[in-house]
């Protein structure tokens, strides 16, 4: 049966208002649909693509037909397989496309920035720092697309903290992250540490206190789940410990930085063969060997482990700020960054205890190390002192400090003791006990312990060979002029060094290389050595610079 004429006319008449309603609804839907949370504008960029990052047609068709997340997911799975097979270059265009297709997906930004800034390395595992601006740009894009989520700020803060070592920028990013319901364990804790490394100790103290307050609030929140409570509980414990340490470090570092030490940095830069340089030298790196929270530094002396940064770069290179993430590198730019640690510094004062290493490379005795007993090899210890049994027999005078050292080495404190030495009142008794214990004396003498008959100090040394010949993609040597920068920033050295040098290097000095201008508020060691292309590429050995 067909429709009657009137019904047909009714249906025809209905069409017009319904079509108008469709048009009206579309006009209402458009502004809501085009909001970034539903339809991120970046997604349309895949149509244009980027040099080296263009979607195949079928993927593009899928992406514009409502399958953005599927395509992004497939690319992400594929990039993961490339990662595991070590095909790192192939991942970069995928990250570009994924972050366009799904700009609200946080993991590709975070993993991508980590991958870019950490995983491209030379044969000796030195990161390709030309990628740092791209890594920052990618995270900035992530922030721009997800401004109300803390994760991207945290990632940016971590990149500046750990890799770029610009603690003010790190703190800035983390401060922004703190405005967006952060995970305190991740953002708040790192922010406090960024403040410390930026030399802002008072801000760090305040941040630790804030973190404690926020953790307590989480613990008191009846809506918080078990996981949140567990994390807040451990976070609270950690931050209370940190705040406690900060309080006594503040107190003692103000005192212990005086008088400033003379680092006396000396170095030689030598070309061994084309594109291979060797940096050797010494410096007087003093730190805390034994520290007591109630007394400050008990024993100070040369310490191992402080690192000298080495950076070879194009003359005048400054890390650029890149507005848009692009993984294409300028092959003419060259940056090499590495570091070398100082080792082997030693010191003994007349009447003090030292150990003869007797052909061994190092002297390993934790209890002795803690009380400032160093190992001296035969060459350094010639005429330095007498073996312990002879000293105790009267052939050398033992100083009061030496007696303290000896008592603690002979009768070590319990493993979990926070004290450095035995209490002063107990030392004479322990010393007498030792004098009447020939077995112990023989044991210690056999270990190489001696008493110094004069003062001696040997500076720590460093040596690093940097081979740039195996990685032509990273080290193109396209420019004619370079600069080699050697630097030491006390702000991010170990705490046992900072205990002596202070938060900002207040206890650091050097006649030639102290730099108080490059990093405002910090006293660092820094020397910039101009180097030519010929210096680096020439044949044969050549001393490029000798500070002596």
Partner 1 sequence: MNAILTIAGNTISEALRRKVLNAFLLGGVAVLALTFMFGQFTARQELTLIRGMGLGIITLAGIFITVILSINLIPTEIERRTIYTILAKPVNRWEFLIGKWLGAIATIGVNIVLMGVVLIIAVALKQIGAENPSNPLELLKGILMIFLQMVLLCSVAVFFSVFLTPLVNFFLTLSLFIIGNMSSFTQDLAKTGSNILVKGFFTVVHYLVPNFGNFQFTNPLVNPAVEVKSELLFLTQNCIYGLVYSAVLLILAVLIFDRREV
Residues of this chain that interact with partner 1 (CB under 8 A) are 1-3, 8, 11-12, 14-15, 18-19, 21-23, 25-30, 32-40, 44, 61, 64-70, 72-73, 76-77, 80, 102, 104-107, 146, 148-149, 225, 227-228
C-alpha span between 482 and 360 (Å, rounded): 41
Q: Which two tokens stand for residue 338?
A: 């590495």
Query: Would you say 16 or 382 has its CB closer to partner 1?
Result: 16
Query: Would you say 34 or 237 has its CB closer to partner 1?
Result: 34
Chain Cα centroid distance, residue 296: 26
**Nearest approach, Cβ of 74 to partner 1 (angstroms)?**
8
CA atoms within 13 A on the CB side of 228: 15
**Nearest approach, Cβ of 479 to partner 1 (angstroms)?**
41
Query: Would you say 78 or 165 has its CB closer to partner 1?
Result: 78
Query: Would you say 87 or 418 has its CB closer to partner 1?
Result: 87
**Nearest approach, Cβ of 171 to partner 1 (angstroms)?**
24
The residue whose two tokens read 């081979």 is: 467
C-alpha span between 240 and 233 (Å, rounded): 11
Query: Would you say 149 or 219 has its CB closer to partner 1?
Result: 149
Query: Would you say 39 or 315 has its CB closer to partner 1?
Result: 39
**Nearest approach, Cβ of 135 to partner 1 (angstroms)?**
19
Residue of 106, 101, 92, 95 whose CA lies nearest to 60: 101
Cross-strand partners of 466: 277
**Nearest approach, Cβ of 47 to partner 1 (angstroms)?**
8
Helix (H, G, I), strand (E, B) or coil at 232: helix
Q: What is the dihedral of CA 387, 388, 390, 393, to 10 degrees?
A: 170
Chain Cα centroid distance, residue 444: 40
**Nearest approach, Cβ of 174 to partner 1 (angstroms)?**
18
Query: Would you say 36 or 305 has its CB closer to partner 1?
Result: 36
Q: What does 13-63 look like in DSSP terms, one character per residue? A: HHHHHHHHHHHHHHHHHHHHHTSTTTS-GGGGHHHH-BTTB---HHHHHHH
Residue of 241, 193, 245, 251 whose CA lies nearest to 215: 241
C-alpha span between 79 and 98 (Å, rounded): 10
The residue whose two tokens read 């397989």 is: 81
| Contact predicate 391/398, CB 8 Å | yes
C-alpha span between 338 and 458 (Å, rounded): 25
For 277-314, give the secondary structure using H, E and C: EEEEEEECCEEEEEEECCCEEEEEEECCCCEEEEEEEE
Query: Would you say 5 or 316 has its CB closer to partner 1?
Result: 5
**Nearest approach, Cβ of 215 to partner 1 (angstroms)?**
16
The residue whose two tokens read 């010191």 is: 347
CA atoms within 13 A on the CB side of 126: 23
**Nearest approach, Cβ of 116 to partner 1 (angstroms)?**
18
**Nearest approach, Cβ of 94 to partner 1 (angstroms)?**
14
Q: Which secondary structure element, helix H or strand E, spans residue 388, and what is its range?
A: helix 388-390
**Nearest approach, Cβ of 114 to partner 1 (angstroms)?**
13
Query: Would you say 8 or 87 has its CB closer to partner 1?
Result: 8
Query: Would you say 44 or 364 has its CB closer to partner 1?
Result: 44
CA atoms within 13 A on the CB side of 340: 21
Query: Would you say 181 or 251 has its CB closer to partner 1?
Result: 181
Query: Would you say 149 or 485 has its CB closer to partner 1?
Result: 149
| Contact predicate 284/509, CB 8 Å | no
Cross-strand partners of 269: 279, 545
Kindly report the number of other CB atoms within 10 A of residue 177's CB atom.
26
Q: Which secondary structure element, helix H or strand E, spans residue 486, and what is its range?
A: strand 481-488
Query: Would you say 129 or 231 has its CB closer to partner 1?
Result: 231
**Nearest approach, Cβ of 143 to partner 1 (angstroms)?**
13
**Nearest approach, Cβ of 157 to partner 1 (angstroms)?**
18
Q: Which two tokens stand for residue 109?
A: 């930004």
**Nearest approach, Cβ of 30 to partner 1 (angstroms)?**
6
**Nearest approach, Cβ of 105 to partner 1 (angstroms)?**
6
C-alpha span between 161 and 221 (Å, rounded): 31
Chain Cα centroid distance, residue 255: 27
Query: Would you say 111 or 404 has its CB closer to partner 1?
Result: 111
């Amino acid at each position: 049966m067909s429709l009657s004429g009137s019904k047909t006319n009714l249906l025809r008449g209905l069409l017009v208002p319904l079509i108008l309603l469709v048009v009206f609804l579309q006009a209402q839907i458009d502004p809501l649909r085009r909001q970034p949370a539903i339809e991120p504008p970046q997604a349309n960029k895949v149509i244009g693509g980027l040099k080296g990052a263009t979607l195949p047609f079928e993927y593009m068709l899928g992406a514009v037909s409502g399958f953005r997340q599927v395509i992004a997911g497939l690319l992400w799975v594929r990039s993961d397989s490339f990662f595991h097979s070590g095909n790192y270059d192939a991942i970069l265009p995928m990250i570009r496309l994924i972050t366009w297709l799904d700009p609200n997906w946080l993991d590709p930004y975070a993993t991508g920035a980590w991958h870019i800034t950490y995983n491209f390395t030379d044969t000796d595992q030195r990161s390709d720092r030309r990628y740092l601006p791209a890594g920052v740009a990618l995270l900035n894009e992530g922030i721009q697309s997800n401004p109300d989520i803390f994760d991207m700020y945290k990632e940016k803060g971590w990149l500046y903290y750990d890799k770029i070592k610009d603690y003010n920028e790190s703190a800035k990013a983390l401060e922004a992250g703190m405005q967006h319901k952060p995970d305190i364990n991740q953002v708040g804790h790192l922010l406090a540490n960024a403040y410390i490394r930026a030399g802002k100790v008072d801000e760090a103290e305040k941040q630790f206190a804030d973190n404690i307050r926020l953790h307590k609030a989480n613990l008191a929140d009846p809506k918080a789940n078990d996981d949140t409570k567990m994390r807040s509980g451990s976070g609270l414990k950690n931050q209370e410990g940190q705040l406690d340490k900060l309080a006594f470090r503040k107190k003692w570092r103000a005192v212990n930085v005086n008088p400033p030490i003379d680092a006396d940095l000396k170095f030689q830069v030598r070309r061994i063969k084309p594109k291979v340089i060797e940096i050797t030298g010494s410096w007087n790196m003093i730190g805390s060997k034994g520290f007591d929270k109630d007394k400050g530094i008990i024993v100070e002396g040369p310490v191992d482990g402080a690192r000298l940064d080495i950076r070879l770069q194009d003359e005048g290179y400054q890390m650029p700020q890149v507005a848009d993430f692009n993984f294409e590198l300028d092959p003419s730019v060259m940056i090499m960054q590495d570091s070398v640690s100082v080792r082997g510094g030693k010191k003994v004062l007349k009447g003090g205890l030292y150990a003869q290493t007797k052909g061994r490379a190092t002297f390993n005795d934790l209890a002795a190390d803690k009380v400032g007993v160093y190992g001296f090899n035969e060459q350094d210890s010639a005429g330095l002192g007498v073996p312990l049994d002879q000293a105790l027999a009267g052939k050398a005078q033992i100083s009061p400090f030496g007696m303290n050292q000896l008592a603690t080495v002979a009768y070590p404190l319990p493993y979990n003791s926070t004290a450095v030495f035995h209490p002063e009142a107990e030392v004479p008794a322990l010393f007498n006990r030792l004098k009447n214990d020939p077995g112990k004396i023989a044991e210690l003498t056999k270990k190489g312990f001696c008493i110094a008959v004069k003062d001696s100090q040997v500076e720590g040394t460093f040596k690093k060979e940097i081979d740039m010949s195996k990685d032509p993609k990273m080290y193109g040597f396209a420019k004619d002029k370079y600069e080699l920068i050697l630097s030491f920033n006390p702000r991010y050295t170990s705490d046992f060094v900072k205990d002596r040098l202070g938060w900002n290097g207040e206890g650091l000095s050097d006649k030639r290389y102290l730099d108080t201008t490059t990093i405002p508020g910090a006293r660092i060691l820094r020397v910039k050595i101009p180097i030519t292309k010929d210096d680096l590429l020439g044949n044969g050995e050549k001393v490029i610079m000798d500070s002596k």
